[in-house]
Chains A and B, each alone.
Chain A
Amino acid sequence: MAHVSVRDLEVKFGALRVLQHLNLDVGKGEFLVLLGSSGCGKSTLLNAIAGLLEISAGQIYIAGDNVTWKEPAERHIGMVFQSYALYPRMTVEGNMSFGLRTQGAPADEIQKRVASAAELLHLEPLLKRKPSELSGGQRQRVAIGRALCRDAEVYLFDEPLSNLDAKLRAELRVELKKLHIRLGSTMIYVTHDQVEAMTLADRIAIMNAGVIQQLAPPAEVYGKPKNLFVAGFIGSPSMNMIEGSVAKGSNGPEFRTANGTVPLARYPFIAPPQEGAAILGVRPEHIEIGQTQPGQGGGSGQVVVVEAMGPETIVYTRFGDTPLTIRAEGDLSVKIDDSISYAFDVAKASLFGKASGERL
């Protein structure tokens, strides 16, 4: 059985159902990221696992133990909050030892645990300080340290890096990753930041409207999005979406649009292709500037904007009426109003049914 299991969970706020029939399994030692925009229910799910809100149906298991009716403190969890939530009148040491003191742990054990957590997070020089004397990054490290001091089966993170500036966020992200590798504990991490999700996660659960849209490793979420929502949510610049229809051509299935036909012979269909309206999703880096080879789909258009980022260049052009974003490596000698040709890498593209929105 999985280390953390959520079975048929339902959470209601008044008449509003925030989560419905939600199932989730997190393996032992796994780093799972719950990713979604605000209001998608990801924090609600985390709070439900922590026991901080009333659920209206379902069960929650942690380490094989049914904790559905247990108090937060009895669930063997440690939690880190977005606002750090450090107790302002206690020193760093007091904050980190509070949970252990509450449980009545012996003094030498408290000492040992605090010392090891402080060492892990380089907090030793700060132990006697008050939270108000710390910077944002230090505060969040203390909050992580406080969670680590508890003897937890699973650590929960509720957008822990959102309040930090970009540089600190990147630093702490790396520290968190190292921490996870070193401790090997189960971690569930809520964020709305794709970069955090992609870099930290063993698996990402993308949530929308209280439903997990896709639960898969980062590469799969990015490369093989399960539906239109995931395809549009992940990736920046976002995936190009071209409307058309799937039809049988002389050389196998084709994707027909008003601006030409894209052969789908190399597209990895998950089921035998059916004819009908569809949407072709192509990531900006899977479009190559240059002449279309036979058997490839592509087109040509005028350059609208060029963004030279240094290691890569983003080119905005059109495919008929559809705006198209192309990401090319290095510095391109392309200027606004140039006419360019490009080709799609169909093997890496995604095809979705127009009506269902599901991957074909």
Chain B
Amino acid sequence: MSMSATLASGPSGPKPKRAFDPVRIGIYAVLVVASMYFLVPLYVMVVTSLKDVAEIRLGNVFSLPAHPTFDPWIKAWSTACTGLYCEGLSPGFWKSVYITIPSVVISVIVGSLNGYSLANWRFKGSETLFTILLIGNFLPYQVLIYPLARLTSNMCLPGTDLCLYSTIYCVIFIHTVFGMPLLTLLFRNYFASLPNELFKAARIDGAGFWRIFFQIMLPMSLPIFVVAIILQVTGIWNDFLFGVIFAGQPNYPMTVQLNNIVNSIQGVREYNVDMAATILTAAVPLIVYFVSGRLFVRGIAAGAVKG
């Protein structure tokens, strides 16, 4: 047999894939278990929220609803009682929106400016400032609550009784402050990973602090802004403690409202309403994750390259 015939008769082209590759089986086993872990409780919640109280009392947690009803959802949104009022979750939803949007916008703007100046405009003491901010990431924030409550209750308009504490501005202020360490770290590391020569070129082209930020840095920073916005939206939306402490009773966010609905029992515990209310409260962060998940992962990786 000639040499070329030997070559031609041997294996050629792509290596055939095995149908049941052990690595693949392992990966899918882990993925299935992990998703069950999160999906089964969600399934129970959804199913329960669609049953009426009588059907829940039968105890078949996993069964599908015999007579699906959306009444618990409507009640959770508009008429469920917190002990004081019977307005459902809806006022809390809007309060959460009013708290979250300004907190996210302000903290992301300030955080990105912090990160930009710490990464590109080093000044005397900038490294020390950055270290202090880093330490802020590791402080348990509970230790700061009492001092902050005292501080904000003393921040009053001169000559009036109007103080910051127990207002919607107070909780926005607190969220902005607590967002600073993480956001500054995130943005500083991202901007530090951009090539320094770009910054030098822009300076030679005569661009100053703001022009470089808006015309050079911002257009390159979409991924890290997405990460920052997702972190802040979910973090602030899910916050309970700052809302209950700093917002004041008329401004309680959705999470506090949810807690009050679930924990105030009048007669029979309405599990279906509780479940519907919980899903409604969790819907915003869930939607944010689903819509922007791909961008989020890309942004996290982009920020992590270099520090």
B197 with A85: CB separation less than 8 A: yes
Is B159 part of the contact surface with A, judged by Cβ < 8 Å? no
Residues of A within 8 Å of B201, CB to CB, are 79, 81, 85, 87, 146
A75 and chain B: residue at smallest CB distance: B204
Is B14 part of the contact surface with A, judged by Cβ < 8 Å? no
What's the least CB distance linking A215 to chain B, in Å? Answer: 25
A89 with B220: CB separation less than 8 A: yes
Residues of A within 8 Å of B13, CB to CB, are none
Residues of A within 8 Å of B207, CB to CB, are 73, 98, 102
A79 to B200, CA, bound (A): 9
Residues of A within 8 Å of B198, CB to CB, are 85, 87
B206 with A102: CB separation less than 8 A: yes
B203 with A99: CB separation less than 8 A: no
What's the least CB distance linking A238 to chain B, in Å? Answer: 32
A80 and chain B: residue at smallest CB distance: B201
What's the least CB distance linking A187 to chain B, in Å? Answer: 15
A71 to B200, CA, bound (A): 11
B197 with A81: CB separation less than 8 A: yes
Is A77 part of the contact surface with B, judged by Cβ < 8 Å? yes
- Asked, given contacts A87-B216, A88-B220, whether A99 binds B197 with beta carbons under 8 Å apart, the answer is no
A73 with B203: CB separation less than 8 A: yes
- Asked, given contacts A88-B220, A89-B219, whether A98 binds B197 with beta carbons under 8 Å apart, the answer is no
A83 with B204: CB separation less than 8 A: no
Residues of A within 8 Å of B215, CB to CB, are 87, 98
What's the least CB distance linking A153 to chain B, in Å? Answer: 13
Is A327 part of the contact surface with B, judged by Cβ < 8 Å? no
Residues of A within 8 Å of B202, CB to CB, are 87, 98
A52 to B205, CA, bound (A): 12
B219 with A83: CB separation less than 8 A: no
B197 with A71: CB separation less than 8 A: no
Contact partner, B200, options A52, A87, A146, A150, Cβ 8 Å: A52
A99 with B204: CB separation less than 8 A: yes
Is A103 part of the contact surface with B, judged by Cβ < 8 Å? yes
- Asked, given contacts A85-B195, A85-B198, A87-B216, whether A72 binds B203 with beta carbons under 8 Å apart, the answer is yes
A84 to B195, CA, bound (A): 10
A77 with B204: CB separation less than 8 A: yes
A299 to B219, CA, bound (A): 68
**Which residues between 57 and 102 of chain A lie within 8 Å of chain B, taking CB atoms?**
71-73, 77-79, 81-83, 85, 87-89, 98-99, 102
Residues of B within 8 Å of A88, CB to CB, are 219-220
Residues of B within 8 Å of A73, CB to CB, are 203-207
B205 with A98: CB separation less than 8 A: yes
B207 and chain A: residue at smallest CB distance: A102
A81 to B202, CA, bound (A): 12
B194 and chain A: residue at smallest CB distance: A88
A240 to B111, CA, bound (A): 60
A102 with B203: CB separation less than 8 A: no
A99 to B211, CA, bound (A): 11
A87 to B201, CA, bound (A): 9
A79 with B204: CB separation less than 8 A: yes
**Which residues between 182 and 210 of chain B lie within 8 Å of chain A, taking CB atoms?**
195, 197-198, 200-207
A217 to B187, CA, bound (A): 48
Chain B CB count within 10 A is highest, among A50, A77, A81, for A81
What's the least CB distance linking A81 to chain B, in Å? Answer: 4
1/0 per residue, CB under 8 A from A, across B206-230: the answer is: 1100010001100110000000000
A52 with B203: CB separation less than 8 A: yes
A47 to B204, CA, bound (A): 11
Residues of B within 8 Å of A72, CB to CB, are 200, 203-204, 206
What's the least CB distance linking A100 to chain B, in Å? Answer: 9
A102 with B197: CB separation less than 8 A: no
B216 and chain A: residue at smallest CB distance: A87
9 tightest A-B contacts by CB?
A: A73-B206, A99-B205, A89-B219, A85-B197, A85-B201, A102-B206, A81-B197, A72-B204, A72-B203
A-B pairs with beta carbons under 8 Å apart, 5 shown = A52-B203, A77-B204, A82-B197, A98-B215, A99-B205
Starting from the known contacts A87-B198, A102-B206, 10 additional A-B residue pairs (CB-CB under 8 Å) come to: A50-B200, A71-B206, A73-B203, A73-B207, A78-B204, A79-B201, A81-B201, A102-B205, A103-B206, A150-B204
